[in-house]
Amino acid sequence: MSEAFLKAAEEAKVLKQTPNKQEMSSLYGLYKQATVGDVNIEAPGMFSFVAKEKWNAWNAKKGLSKEEAEAEYIKAVESLKEKYGI
């Protein structure tokens, strides 16, 4: 993982306002894709709402290389910093 990615991950935790559900979901998916790669676990059951949402967000990024996911994550955090402040 690059230094810029690690810095962005820390900055995402200290935004002045919590991003909306869609933004959080996208960040989660990009983070998992950048750190783990393609989804490697089975989809959770339909009553595990939060787990299912996280799995779907990660699975939506399937096929992105770790480097591409890192770059998109950094770009997303920069956008959120402009929107919400740090």
Domains of the chain in start order, with CATH, are: 3-84 (1.20.80.10)
CB-CB neighbours of 18 under 10 Å: 10
**How do the pLDDT tens digits run along the chain, 86 residues long?**
899 999 999 999 999 999 999 999 999 999 999 999 999 999 999 899 999 999 999 999 999 999 999 999 999 999 999 999 99
Q: Do 18 and 86 contact (CB within 8 A), yes or no?
A: no
Please state, in angstroms and as integers, the Cα–Cα distance from residue 33 to each residue in 10, 17, 56, 84, following that order.
17, 24, 12, 24
What per-residue confidence (pLDDT) applies to 46? 85
Name the pTM for this structure. Answer: 0.92
Q: How far apart are CA 78 and CA 65, in angstroms?
A: 20
